Amino acid sequence: NNEQIEREVEHLRKVITRLGTPQADGKIGVTYGVLFDDEEGQDYFEALMGTLKAAKKRGVVDFQGQMLLKGAHDSVMVTLLKPLT
């Protein structure tokens, strides 16, 4: 349901903020491998990729490609476009 998706997207923003590195433009970036391996994230997200896709559709995050897979895409940068304020 939509409310659950919104909660997960909001939680994703917090996780990326905690794990990521601030960039010069104010956005925050973290690699998919770091995000995937984060214990708190693993406990929270049923399907990290689903949450990432939903967040990308909403313009909250950006990453290269449509699908990220553990191992193959560990070094792909996930950028938080709408940092927490």
What architecture (CATH level 2) is domain 2-80?
Answer: Orthogonal Bundle (1.10)
Nearest 5°: the CA angle 56, 52, 76 is 90
For the cut 80, the answer to whether the pLDDT of residue 85 exceeds it is: no
Are 82 and 69 in contact by the 8 Å Cβ rule? The answer is: no
Rg of the chain's alpha carbons, rounded to an integer?
12
Which three-class secondary structure state does DSSP give residue 79?
Answer: strand
Q: Please determine, for residue 69, whether its predicted confidence score (pLDDT) is greater than 70.
A: yes
Q: Dump pLDDT digits (tens) for 9-62.
A: 999 999 999 999 999 888 999 999 999 999 988 888 888 999 999 999 999 999
Helix (H, G, I), strand (E, B) or coil at 85: coil
0.85 exceeded by the pTM?
yes
